[in-house]
Structure 1
Amino acid sequence: MKIYRIDKPNDAKTALKLLGSDKGGVAIMSKKMDTHLFVIKDISAGAANILKQDCLSIGAELAVPTGVVTCSKSHYDAILIGTKRQLEFLARKEKAQPFGLKKLAKKLEDFLKESKFKTKIMGIINANDDSFYPGSRYLEKSAVEAIENMIEDGADIIDIGAVSSRPGSEPVTSQEELRRLKPIIDTIKQEKLYDKAIFSIDSYSLEAIAYALESGFSIVNDITGMQNSKLGELAKSYGATYIIMHMQGTPETMQKNPHYDNVILDIDAFFEDRIERALEIGFKIEDLVLDVGIGFGKTLEHNLMLLKNLKHFRHFGCEVLIGASRKSMIHKIVPTPVEERLPGTLAIHLEAIRRGASIVRCHDVKEHKQAIKVYEAIEEGSVL
């Protein structure tokens, strides 16, 4: 007799199929193998006691501090532990309970939904002379050549911007931004490059976004996260996808002592607010992409916490974008000049994909294409 370990629930599902289990059995047993942990903040003592008993009745568990049973405080933090099957059943039970447990049930169901997205590579083109990575700066002719190379190397999306958002950068006028962008956008249209890739405009200027959308761009990448609702209304009028990014402060101020009460919950609340705003404008969930904004008003600790918890943000039902290409967080871990940060970039991005990201924004398309293909081959490989 021999034994070996199966690493992930998805592998377990594959193993069950190869074993010869019927379709219904695969669905049931794989859920028993998929264990989840949720931190619940500020749950009332009454709700905690009810939830604890309901968990125990189905084989799940709620870890709580000493004093919950006697209600020595009004509210507590707790950790919910259970398989997917147990938590789905628990969510149904809690819909009939008081003390805010109905709302908790809805959140649990959102977290447990499975949504799969194809991994896509977004290549970066900066039409300016002050982006933090010199290798991403292009003028008109070199920009179009770089775009064509990125498409050939495997880019699904090309993201073009003309204003640097590096820490400490200063804004430029809309007129200057459009002056930088216009010749590139015009050439893309003239060369019919829209037939070969999807194009995204990295801007929060109404004039620049309008020109790009009118010319055939189909994604708006807004680092301000739809702070200006008019940007959303404009994008919606063209049927564009909207990338909502989180940034604390502005590029000039964002790295001056960034602070969060809880970086995961604070950014979650931000996305909840902006998604609600987008839905009111008329967007559908599938039209929205979320970007936690690595390096935009975050310390290294904040960035690492966000990367470890990217899957959390999938509960909204949107795709998640990761953009850590050659960023300074790599230098803070291993002191390295920007030109030598490709290995660190690949490590971050592959781990981000494993943890829920489906769009990777990067400078080095060819290298990412190879790394992602190898990663996917490992993930899809047989477990028996």
Structure 2
Amino acid sequence: MQTVEAAGLPIGDEYPSRIMGVLNVSDESPYEPSVFADATDAAAYVDDLIAEDADIVDIGLESANKRFAVLSADEERERLDTAIETVERVEGEAVFSIETRYHEVAAAALDANFDMVNDVCGFADPELPQVCEARDAAVVKMASPPDLERPGALADVDEIYDALAEDLTDKTIIDPAFGGWSEDKTLEDDRETFRRLSEFRAIGHPMLVSINRKNFLGDVVGRETDDRLPASLAATALAVERGADVIRTHDVAATRDAALIGDALGDRAALR
């Protein structure tokens, strides 16, 4: 398994699973506690995430929910100013990731205060991985067809695997893309992907998993979003055991504990 360094933070089998907290500067984002328009308030929230032991903070510029129109690169750039100012005001230490699908936005973020890129369109913009490679930056590749307006539309596990295995940089982290990114993807598709998580290890790159309070978990336990934390924590421990190297979450402190259990007591410990 290849180790990827993100601004000096090693990610891979030989290291504990890393926790990625989330901040959104988009009004459309569904998790309201993470949404901020003011950089000072946003920085305070990020410092709270860091105090809860977030290794990485991912800042989203727009919601990828299929119900919303996709922003242009220029529209994302306008929101990037708030994200950059936020990072400048943060007092704690973390790796900062920008979530985008455009190489222009990725370049501007990496040239400012950001350390890595979280691409929600699976390198649909072919210049995005080139931008990251030129700056020696880690980049997350989410499973998606090569379409800037249709992130995460892949449902079949084999198709997800094939999409993730293509055109990787040396510092790519793969993301199988859980959640309702398209009308074609069902809860059973997500469950099947989760059951087969360990298969993605064969790609040879670290894996990010974003399952926090997802619908496929809520469907199993019969809980709405606000009551899904226990299900998310159980799934986190399983995901880490099956090879997840980064867990993206809004519930940083609790998720860290669940990941530590998966690391210490699961089969993953045998990898070290």
Aligned to 1:152: 51
What does residue 17 of structure 2 align with?
A: 119
SS in structure 1 at match of 2:226? helix
Contact 1:124 1:363 in 2 (8 A): yes
| 1:322-333 matches, cutoff 5 A | 322-333=209-220
Contact 2:23 2:42 in 1 (8 A): yes
Map 1:196-345 to 2 at 5 A: 196-247=93-144, 263-275=156-168, 283-284=169-170, 287-295=171-179, 296-297=181-182, 298-345=185-232
RMSD between superposed Cα atoms in Å: 2.6
Superposition deviation, residue 127 in structure 1:
0.6
Q: After TM superposition, give the deviation of residue 122 of structure 1 in Å.
A: 0.3
Task: Return closer, same or farther for 1:157/1:242 CA change in 2, 3 Å cut-off.
Answer: same
Residue 372 in structure 1 maps to residue 259 in structure 2 = yes
Asked if the contact 2:16–2:263 (Cα under 8 Å) also holds between the matched residues in 1, the reply is no
Post-superposition offset of 1:241: 0.6
Which structure has the larger Rg?
A: 1
Deviates more, 1:147-156 or 1:178-187: 178-187
* Cα distance per residue 1:300-321 (max 9 Å; x no partner): 1111111111111111210011
Post-superposition shift, 1:136? 2.1
Indicate the residue corresponding to 1:93 in structure 2. Answer: none
Q: Deviations over 1:266-290 (max 9, x none)?
A: 2222122233xxxxxxx32xx1101
Q: Cα deviation per residue 1:183-236 (whole Å; 9 max; x = unaligned)?
A: 33124235565xx11011100123321221011312111011111111111111
The 3-state SS of whatever aligns with 2:62 is: coil
Query: Residue in 1 aligned with 2:87?
Result: 188
2:243 matches 1:356: yes
Does the CA-based 8 Å contact 1:150-1:365 persist in structure 2? Answer: yes
Residue 75 (structure 2) pairs with residue 176 (structure 1): yes
Q: What TM-score comes out, normalization by structure 2 length?
A: 0.83
- Alpha carbons of 1:188 and 1:120: their partners in 2 closer, same or farther (altered >3 Å)? same
1:254 positional shift: 6.9
Q: Which amino acid aligns with 1:272?
A: A
- Provide the residue aligned with 1:132 in structure 2: 30
Number of the residue aligned with 1:100: none
Q: Secondary structure at the match of 2:207?
A: strand
Deviation at 1:250, TM superposition (A): 6.8
Which structure features the higher share of helix residues?
1
Work out whether 1:164 is the aligned partner of 2:51. Answer: no
How far is 1:335 from its partner? Answer: 3.6
Identity %: 28
CA distance 1:232–1:369, shift in 2 (3 Å):
same
Q: 1:131 to 1:218 in 2, by over 3 A?
A: same
Q: CA deviation at 1:169?
A: 2.0
For the 8 Å contact 2:24–2:35, the answer to whether it is kept is yes
Q: Is the 8 A contact 2:42 2:86 kept in 1?
A: no
Q: Partners of 2:30 and 2:91 in 1: how far apart?
A: 30
Letter in structure 2 aligned against 1:294: F
In structure 2, do the counterparts of structure 1 residues 130 and 190 end up closer, same or farther at CA, with 3 Å as the change threshold? Answer: closer
Q: Give the counterpart letter for 1:132 in structure 2.
A: P
